Chains A and B, each alone.
Chain A
């Protein structure tokens, strides 16, 4: 008779591990809390998220899954401690504040330009807040739903100062470096063609590669959204040797996107954004929000949920906007904190000023 013991031990260990690791409802370790959801449970929740009812899924999960970039200073970039910072990140934090009353209940997922849409479609993230341009194709055939604009951007060019070029029109026969899989590649081709300029395009998958090639002198100019140029310039060996040309050759309205077919969820993203803009317009900020609750201005009282609980119409808590403003801030604060004049990026408000100041930021009325 052959010894059966090893087979028995193997079978028992194998079976026990299998059950322990993969069966739902397996005992969970003490270190696990709401923030740390096992993969298996996420997968169970995902189908519903993909069908609609994202809000319920997010509530049950206890945190928001937010798709961000792999590192773009000012928009979404991990700081020295590894915490995410930036405008796009603050949008997610504001949503978490509105949903949970706690802006920290967000988990970030860094996505490349190519992965971002698939990740959203497949339900791996709840909202894509990753400097994504709102275009017709993306709004329709890619199955996305844009909820608004967080930053009005436009494509520009960066060149070396010693090239002594002051306009894109002087870049005839130049070599241009760009990211592939973005609208920038197409815009640059269109712009040069319409102006009868010849050019050569070198495209890379990753921004770091574009920067390395540009820094090595592979191309005269680097083109991407102006905000990106300001941010990436910080990564060059000598940022002062490079200038950003004045032409803005495209419209790049950047904003958060959600899956098509969950209108309620899209509403939440949209109104989170409007609440921040409206707050700036009404002069409500993170410092004075508490006092402003006593304001006589009916618009402020409506926004802060003092009277008429509009939050419940959204399926949120009554003080949703108050939480956004106190924990994250109004739009102006977010802008200045992340990309404004006192940051290394030093971007002027420009198009992103309120409509009352000659910009494009305009919130629909909260009522």
Chain B
């Protein structure tokens, strides 16, 4: 064995060896194939061993296997769900409740983190000393404190400070904040008016997009094209909207939309933590834009807001997008910390509650991981596409 390795190592240096095997080893291609076969064999053996052990262990412990359990009633309740769910629903439905809750917090978190990140990142470079310092403090503090710690802070410390339902904080307008969450009015549509509105909104959004692309319409004009027609439609339909106000009744608020504190705490923690990282990316992206660009824009007399929007950001985006992608992925994966504060995301509902009811660790963990892998893959693909689109605009450099 030792001499084989030796001949293999010295093979390329040209030490001759009459052994045919050794000569085969000297050919880098043959050596490559042998090595690959060995690695493949090893990997296959490893996987086989794992599977065999698992099957044996499951048999021995008399643990059921297969996905049949997905059709059994789950039995447990979930307090935050985007689709209809009750304790009699099956495990598959519970799984989808978890997936949707994960997606909800991830999508909103990504939007908020982007907003926070870009504002703070730009503020970090502000000529205003105080603003720049505050933004720097924000970034350096929050980036260096574990997310889980921030999550606990938002949930357990801030929740304790909030008043009870009877003494809710309210700015008026049917909005209430208390230790049971945030309650806001829900918009009620008269029957049959919601669908046409959506169609009108979609159509005018497309129109606005076109106006921007084709006729270089800008700012307020685009907004006007996109927003006015649906509003007009609403007026024509006789304003078929009403508000369902949350009202304190019995033990809780009835009506309206209620956002549980777990959701708010998770969303805040995720978007602020990730926002601090995004801000840092934005800062380095903006700083990567050559100074001459800004000076030229200033010489042209562009106002500073316009310089940022039209000159700096479009160029900085090329530097910002790749790390931004990984921040988005991190946020999505970090949303699994929900399990620590009882937000019913995929991990809490499925990999935790359902797992302990069913006991089929292999199937349940595999399904959970598959969902995250799919989300990661999807986000990567989208961001790669977006990045490629940005890169296309670069002309005449190559």
B160 touches A216 (CB 8 A): yes
Contacts of A203 in B (CB 8 A): 76, 342, 344, 348, 353
A142 touches B63 (CB 8 A): yes
B63 touches A218 (CB 8 A): no
A175 touches B251 (CB 8 A): yes
A213 touches B342 (CB 8 A): yes
Contacts of B361 in A (CB 8 A): 118
Interface: A241 (CB within 8 A): no
Which of chain B's residues 87-144 have a Cβ closer than 8 Å to chain A? 87-88
Interface: B297 (CB within 8 A): no
Indicate whether A260 sits within 8 Å of B87 (C-beta atoms), given known contacts A175-B180, A201-B79. Answer: no
A143 touches B62 (CB 8 A): yes
Interface: B159 (CB within 8 A): yes
B355 touches A201 (CB 8 A): no
Compute how far the CA of A140 lies from the CA of B64 in the bound complex, rounded to whole angstroms: 10
Binary CB contact string for chain A from 176 to 194 against chain B (1 if under 8 A, 0 otherwise) = 0000111001101110010
Interface: B179 (CB within 8 A): yes
B160 touches A204 (CB 8 A): no
**Interface-lining segment among A6-14, A166-174, A270-278:** A166-174
Interface: A23 (CB within 8 A): no
- Smallest CB gap from A182: residue in B: B356
Indicate whether A218 sits within 8 Å of B261 (C-beta atoms), given known contacts A180-B352, A202-B79, A205-B352. Answer: yes
Main secondary structure of the interface of A (DSSP, over half): mixed
Interface: B75 (CB within 8 A): yes
Interface: B45 (CB within 8 A): no
Compute how far the CA of A173 lies from the CA of B180 in the bound complex, rounded to whole angstroms: 13
Indicate whether A117 sits within 8 Å of B77 (C-beta atoms), given known contacts A171-B251, A180-B353, A216-B156. Answer: no
Compute how far the CA of A80 lies from the CA of B227 in the bound complex, rounded to whole angstroms: 67
Compute how far the CA of A171 lies from the CA of B250 in the bound complex, rounded to whole angstroms: 9
Binary CB contact string for chain B from 307 to 349 against chain A (1 if under 8 A, 0 otherwise) = 0000000000000000000000000000000011110100010
Interface: B378 (CB within 8 A): no
One of B76, B156, B179, B251 near A201 (C-beta < 8 A): B76
Compute how far the CA of A292 lies from the CA of B352 in the bound complex, rounded to whole angstroms: 51
One of B62, B250, B352 near A172 (C-beta < 8 A): B250
Interface: A220 (CB within 8 A): yes
B179 touches A143 (CB 8 A): no
Contacts of A216 in B (CB 8 A): 156, 159-160, 179
Interface: A251 (CB within 8 A): no
Which of chain B's residues 45-87 have a Cβ closer than 8 Å to chain A? 57, 60-64, 75-79, 86-87
Indicate whether A180 sits within 8 Å of B348 (C-beta atoms), given known contacts A114-B356, A141-B359. Answer: yes
Report the count of interface residues on A (CB-CB < 8 A).
42
Contacts of B280 in A (CB 8 A): none
B251 touches A174 (CB 8 A): yes
Contacts of A182 in B (CB 8 A): 356
Contacts of B355 in A (CB 8 A): 114, 181
One of A142, A181, A209 near B352 (C-beta < 8 A): A181
B63 touches A143 (CB 8 A): yes
Compute how far the CA of A51 lies from the CA of B76 in the bound complex, rounded to whole angstroms: 35
Compute how far the CA of A220 lies from the CA of B179 in the bound complex, rounded to whole angstroms: 11
Binary CB contact string for chain A from 205 to 227 against chain B (1 if under 8 A, 0 otherwise) = 10001001100111010000000
Contacts of A260 in B (CB 8 A): 61-62
Interface: A121 (CB within 8 A): yes
The distance from the CB of A79 to the nearest CB of chain B, in whole angstroms, is 27
Compute how far the CA of A202 lies from the CA of B181 in the bound complex, rounded to whole angstroms: 13
Compute how far the CA of A118 lies from the CA of B243 in the bound complex, rounded to whole angstroms: 51
- Smallest CB gap from A204: residue in B: B342
B75 touches A190 (CB 8 A): yes
- Smallest CB gap from B339: residue in A: A205
Interface: B164 (CB within 8 A): yes
The distance from the CB of A10 to the nearest CB of chain B, in whole angstroms, is 18
Compute how far the CA of A143 lies from the CA of B260 in the bound complex, rounded to whole angstroms: 38
Interface: A355 (CB within 8 A): no
A186 touches B75 (CB 8 A): yes
Compute how far the CA of A48 lies from the CA of B99 in the bound complex, rounded to whole angstroms: 42
One of B63, B87, B356 near A141 (C-beta < 8 A): B63
Indicate whether A201 sits within 8 Å of B63 (C-beta atoms), given known contacts A180-B352, A193-B87, A217-B164. Answer: no
- Smallest CB gap from B160: residue in A: A216
The distance from the CB of B360 to the nearest CB of chain A, in whole angstroms, is 9
Compute how far the CA of A260 lies from the CA of B60 in the bound complex, rounded to whole angstroms: 9
A212 touches B156 (CB 8 A): yes
One of A142, A172, A181, A218 near B353 (C-beta < 8 A): A181
B78 touches A201 (CB 8 A): yes
One of A50, A174, A188, A189 near B60 (C-beta < 8 A): A50
List B residues at the A interface (Cβ < 8 Å): 57, 60-64, 75-79, 86-88, 156, 159-160, 164, 179-180, 249-252, 254, 260-262, 339-342, 344, 348, 352-353, 355-357, 359, 361
Complex A-B, nearest 8 residue pairs according to Cβ-Cβ distance, in ascending order: A181-B356, A143-B61, A189-B87, A201-B77, A143-B62, A200-B79, A186-B75, A121-B61
Q: A137-B359, A218-B159, A218-B179 are in contact. List 19 more A-B contacts (CB 8 A).
A: A114-B355, A121-B57, A121-B61, A141-B62, A172-B251, A173-B249, A173-B250, A173-B252, A175-B180, A181-B352, A190-B75, A200-B79, A201-B77, A209-B341, A216-B160, A217-B159, A220-B251, A259-B61, A261-B60
Can you identify 6 A-B contacts, CB atoms within 8 angstroms? A50-B60, A185-B77, A189-B87, A202-B260, A205-B340, A216-B156
